[in-house]
């Protein structure tokens, strides 16, 4: 882990708070407890203008292992902001945060 990479709560405190609240609301307490220590290691390189997604760990060399991977997204349409949020969770660790169609992160 690159300890020089900014923490999510320092770089985008509003997003961090919204993410923590959405995870807690959905009873994803183990994931919610990770939010304060997540690092913004690398931005997504897709080049789409609607994407502000980022890696919290080093990107995998190939796809995530299916037997250890799951996606999480808020259970309702009220995560507290416009756009989409999807977490890639591997071995119950947040690895990638997809942020799509949202105004600039704050």
Examine residue 81 and state whether it is found in any structural domain, yes or no: yes
Examine residue 105 and state whether it is found in any structural domain, yes or no: no
Concatenating the DSSP letter of every residue in 47-70 gives --TTB--EESSPPPSSPPPGGGEE
Examine residue 106 and state whether it is found in any structural domain, yes or no: no
Q: Could you tell me the residue range of the domain that residue 78 belongs to?
A: 8-100
Count how many domains the chain has: 1
Examine residue 31 and state whether it is found in any structural domain, yes or no: yes
Examine residue 1 and state whether it is found in any structural domain, yes or no: no
Q: Greater confidence, 44 or 64?
A: 44
**pLDDT tens by residue, 52-86:** 999 999 888 887 777 888 888 777 655 566 788 89
Are 64 and 104 spatial neighbours (Cβ–Cβ below 8 Å)?
no
Examine residue 24 and state whether it is found in any structural domain, yes or no: yes
Identify the pLDDT of residue 65.
Answer: 78
Examine residue 83 and state whether it is found in any structural domain, yes or no: yes
């Amino acid at each position: 882990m690159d300890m020089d990479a900014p923490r999510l709560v320092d770089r985008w405190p509003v997003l961090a708070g919204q993410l923590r609240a959405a995870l807690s609301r959905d009873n994803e307490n183990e994931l919610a407890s990770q939010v304060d220590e997540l690092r913004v290691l690398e931005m997504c390189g897709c080049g789409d203008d609607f994407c502000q997604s980022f890696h919290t760990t080093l990107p995998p060399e190939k796809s995530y292992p299916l037997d250890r991977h799951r996606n999480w997204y808020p259970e309702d349409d009220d995560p507290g902001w416009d756009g989409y949020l999807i977490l890639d969770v591997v071995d119950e660790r947040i690895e990638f945060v997809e942020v799509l169609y949202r105004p600039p992160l704050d």
